[in-house]
Amino acid sequence: MSDPIRHDPPWRCAFCHMRTGTRLFRIPVCTICRDQLQDFVLVSVILTALLPSGFVSGTQFIVEEVLMFGALVLVKHRLPSIFERFTQHD
């Protein structure tokens, strides 16, 4: 009997280091980070549209972009571990 060969995805996500087989603009990203990056781009486009109208200042734009990137992309994988002890698995 031969053991089936297990193929792990070839790359690690640039943000969370999970194994992934997906690249976005040549950057390896997992599914969760890819979804969060899409949300980040959408909100960035909306903020950019508000910038010339005066609703958002330049400094506020930069601060919101940095905070949003940190919350959406970098922190996303850390939050589920907080609630892990409250989850049940079959």
Per the structure block, which two tokens stand in for 86? 């409250």
pLDDT at position 13 is: 86
Task: Reduce the DSSP state of residue 66 to 3 states and report it.
Answer: helix
pLDDT at position 70 is: 81
Q: Is residue 90 in a domain?
A: no
Q: Is residue 87 in a domain?
A: no
Amino acid, res. 90 = D
Q: Is residue 4 in a domain?
A: no
Count of CB atoms within 10 A of residue 51's CB? 14
pLDDT in tens, the chain (90 residues): 555 566 677 888 887 888 888 888 888 888 888 888 888 888 888 888 888 888 888 888 888 888 888 877 667 666 666 666 776 665
Q: Is residue 21 in a domain?
A: yes
Total domain count for the chain? 1
